[in-house]
Amino acid sequence: MLAQRHARIREIEALGFRSYGQRFDFTHTIPQILAGHGSMTGGELEPTIQVKVCGRIQTMRRMGKAGFAHLLQLGEKLQVYIRKDAVSERDFALYQLLDIGDIVGVSGYLFRTRTGELSIHAGELTFLAKTLLTMPEKWHGLEDVETRYRQRYLDLIANPEAQKVFITRSRVIASLRRQLEARGFIEVETPMMQPLYGGATARPFVTHHNTLDVDLYLRIAPELYLKRLIVGGLDRVYEINRNFRNEGISTQHNPEFTMLEFYQAYTDYQGLMDLSVELLRQTAMDATGSAIVEYDGRRLDFSSIRRLTMREAVIEFWMDAEGPSLENVRDPDWLKRHSSKATPGEMLVDLFERVAEAHLYEPTIIYEYPVETSPLSKNSLDDPAFVDRFEIYVAGMEIGNAYTELNDPQEQRRRFEMQLTMRERGDEEAHQMDEDYVRALCYGMPPTGGEGIGLDRLTMLLTNSRSIRDVILFPLLRPEGPIGIADELRALDDGGAAS
RNA sequence: GGGCCGGUAGCUCAGGCGGUAGAGCAUCUGCCUUUUAAGCAGAGGGUCGCGGGUUCGAGUCCCGCCCGGCUCACCA
């Protein structure tokens, strides 16, 4: 097959075409043609409209002295009609040599076929690039998930809906940027390689800088750097970038993933709740055209987001009919009877995760978190065992985490020391002491609200994708091993040189 | 890491009580000037994921390994 296609390059060149062509100045993209002329009748297409389009050949139906092909560009297709008496002899010879997957340019006029399909009546063909490998089958597309992830380019060619997912992803990110900029946030970039990792509980990837001879960690979160910027007086900052966590892979976890983090001085977690509700609603609108989307057969309404405390969620979703009372979930002894964790706060979180989390299908904000699991959040005024923090859950997934930032350096020092104790007890994920961060707080950080939103997961929800790998162009997989294409190409090259 | 499922032609998939491997699309040849899962006639194409074992004989049975999916654990 490879040899056959390779030989065809010479035949195409013998006709005077370049097998790998030059720039092509099209007049319209295929989506533009469909949008602009898709609803015009055959009659309205006269006088003729001349266009130049280009794309990849998706299908071919040859009928002797004429034929049809579908040209695919940007996930949409336009039919091309080529007939012997409408093109030059040379172009017709080229048409006969075309393979599905070749990239060509076509100039001609628009018309409707007998069956009513908008098509381009070819007057001239331009050869732009040759495919040497066969394309996936036309009506199933490429289904093998491993190939789809490893060879994403093939997935994007063969499955138009795969392109749509990544276009929506781009819209999600653009929408959030636009909304934050409109509110006076500025986009910043903070280190991906950090001497100390922090801002989340996770195991890091380690790398090494040769000249400085130091180990560095790929960041697990940008949080501590962004808050240094708040200290510095950049009152509203955000960053959209990758975090790296050296942990398991699943349908909801990829080792590198994209987070939006934003920090707003002089607000608190209540202010961020209101902002989040607005951001999510508008992002859903911008990405999908509606605040109501379908996910896995169920309805998600981003325009009405419930707010529940963690304790209320435990009560509401309790597995038995006779749920606990508010007094129960406040009572350390009651909690101890239902969880084996070390402290009342950890017990409550444990219960919440077991009882409620999977049921949080409709977009829901959960607030009032215990202090033990939140080393960087500010204590609640009315209960120092809790912090002013909330998380956003949709379809059973956590997609956002926000809190009033702890800005008291003494308290922050004590929290870090508490984490160090946990670390000594063997908790690898406990937070490290970051003295420069404490020093920054010593200069005074204004009251601040900070939030992180997982953009991969948000994109999953807005594209109806069940796996995070479907919204990451190149998800991490084990390396593939030898492919052998270089050897095959070299063999063809040697053969060509010899002949 | 555990459990379950999968890997057969370029693609999508069948098949199998152990006996020389199948279809559709794609490819090649011929016919066909409005087709659209175009059609008709013919042809080629496979170390059945890899390695061992059992057997006269393994794609099929057994063991190990590789790759992937789902799921549980951990996390966002």
Helices A160-182 & A455-463 angle (0-180, nearest 10) = 130
Would you state the structure tokens that stand for residue A232, as one six-digit string?
A: 């510095």
Q: According to DSSP H, which parts of A72-215 are helical?
A: 89-97, 145-150, 152-158, 160-182
A1 Cβ contacts chain B strand, under 7 Å: yes
A494 band by pLDDT with thresholds 50, 70 and 90:
low
Give me the pLDDT at residue A90, please: 94
**pTM as predicted:** 0.93
A357 Cβ contacts chain B strand, under 7 Å: no
- Per-residue pLDDT at A485 exceeds 50: yes
A369 Cβ contacts chain B strand, under 7 Å: no
**Interface predicted TM-score of the whole assembly (ipTM), two decimals:** 0.90
A85 Cβ contacts chain B strand, under 7 Å: yes
Nearest residue: Cα versus C1' of B74? A248
Q: Please give the share of chain A, as a percent, with pLDDT higher than 90.
A: 75
Please state, as a whole number, how many other Cβ atoms lie within 10 Å of the Cβ of residue A191: 12
Residue predicted with more confidence, A427 or A354: A354
- Per-residue pLDDT at A158 exceeds 70: yes
In 3D space, the residue among A383, A380, A316, A372 whose CA is nearest the CA of residue A348 turns out to be: A372
Q: Which of A36-45, A89-98, A182-191 comes out lowest in average pLDDT?
A: A36-45
A341 Cβ contacts chain B strand, under 7 Å: no
Would you state the structure tokens that stand for residue A87, as one six-digit string?
A: 């093109």
Q: Which nucleotide is nearest to A373 (CA to C1')?
A: B75
- Per-residue pLDDT at A497 exceeds 60: no
The H or E element that residue A244 is part of is: strand A236-244
Q: According to DSSP H, which parts of A207-331 are helical?
A: 223-231, 269-288, 310-316, 326-330
Q: What Å value separates CA A178 and C1' B42?
A: 62
Nearest residue: Cα versus C1' of B6? A144
Q: Which nucleotides of B are covered by protein (CB under 7 A)?
A: 1, 10-13, 24-28, 31-39, 66-76
Residue labelled with tokens 């795969």: A162
A456 Cβ contacts chain B strand, under 7 Å: yes
Residues 28-47 of A with CB under 7 A from strand B: none
Q: What Å value separates CA A358 and C1' B66?
A: 35
Question: What's the CA gap between A452 and A176, in Å, rounded?
Answer: 12
Across residues A290-300, what is the average pLDDT? 93
Q: Which nucleotide is nearest to A429 (CA to C1')?
A: B75
Residue labelled with tokens 């991969």: A456
Cα A62 versus chain centre, distance = 40
Q: Which nucleotide is nearest to A154 (CA to C1')?
A: B11
Q: Which nucleotide is nearest to A478 (CA to C1')?
A: B67
List, in sequence order, every beta strand (DSSP E) within A17-92: 50-63, 66-73, 76-83
Q: Are A52 and A105 in contact (CB under 8 A)?
A: yes
Nearest residue: Cα versus C1' of B40? A63
- Per-residue pLDDT at A190 exceeds 50: yes
Residues 298-337 of A with CB under 7 A from strand B: none
- Per-residue pLDDT at A426 exceeds 80: no
Long-range contacts of A174-180 (CB under 8 A, 24+ apart): A174/A286, A175/A282, A175/A283, A175/A286, A175/A287, A176/A240, A176/A260, A176/A279, A176/A283, A176/A453, A176/A455, A177/A240, A178/A286, A179/A278, A179/A279, A179/A282, A179/A283, A180/A236, A180/A238, A180/A262, A180/A279
Residue predicted with more confidence, A499 or A295: A295
A378 Cβ contacts chain B strand, under 7 Å: no
A23 Cβ contacts chain B strand, under 7 Å: no
Q: Are A371 and A355 in contact (CB under 8 A)?
A: no
Q: What Å value separates CA A271 and C1' B9?
A: 61
A202 Cβ contacts chain B strand, under 7 Å: yes
Give me the pLDDT at residue A483, please: 86
A81 Cβ contacts chain B strand, under 7 Å: yes
- Per-residue pLDDT at A106 exceeds 90: yes
What is chain A's alpha carbon radius of gyration, rounded to the nearest angstrom? 29
A144 Cβ contacts chain B strand, under 7 Å: yes
Cα A363 versus chain centre, distance = 19
Max Cα–Cα distance, chain A, nearest Å: 90
Would you state the structure tokens that stand for residue A36, as one six-digit string?
A: 């602009």
Give me the pLDDT at residue A203, please: 87
Give me the pLDDT at residue A398, please: 93
A113 Cβ contacts chain B strand, under 7 Å: yes
Q: Which nucleotide is nearest to A134 (CA to C1')?
A: B10
Question: What's the CA gap between A386 and A93, in Å, rounded?
Answer: 77
pLDDT digits (tens, 9 = 90+) for A369-395: 998 888 899 999 999 999 999 999 999
Question: What's the CA gap between A130 and A12, in Å, rounded?
Answer: 10
Across residues A266-271, what is the average pLDDT? 97
Helices A409-424 & A435-442 angle (0-180, nearest 10) = 160
Nearest residue: Cα versus C1' of B44? A1
Residues 381-410 of A with CB under 7 A from strand B: 397-399, 401
Give me the pLDDT at residue A488, please: 86
Q: Which nucleotide is nearest to A63 (CA to C1')?
A: B32
Strands A236-244 and A205-209: unpaired
What average pLDDT does chain A have?
Answer: 92
Across residues A173-184, what is the average pLDDT? 98
Across residues A237-257, what is the average pLDDT? 94
Residue A129 has, within 13 A of its CA and on its CB side, a CA count of 11
A184 Cβ contacts chain B strand, under 7 Å: no
- Per-residue pLDDT at A495 exceeds 70: no
Q: What are phi and psi of A44, to 5 degrees?
A: -70, -15
Question: What's the CA gap between A154 and A112, in Å, rounded?
Answer: 31
A257 Cβ contacts chain B strand, under 7 Å: yes
Cα A305 versus chain centre, distance = 22
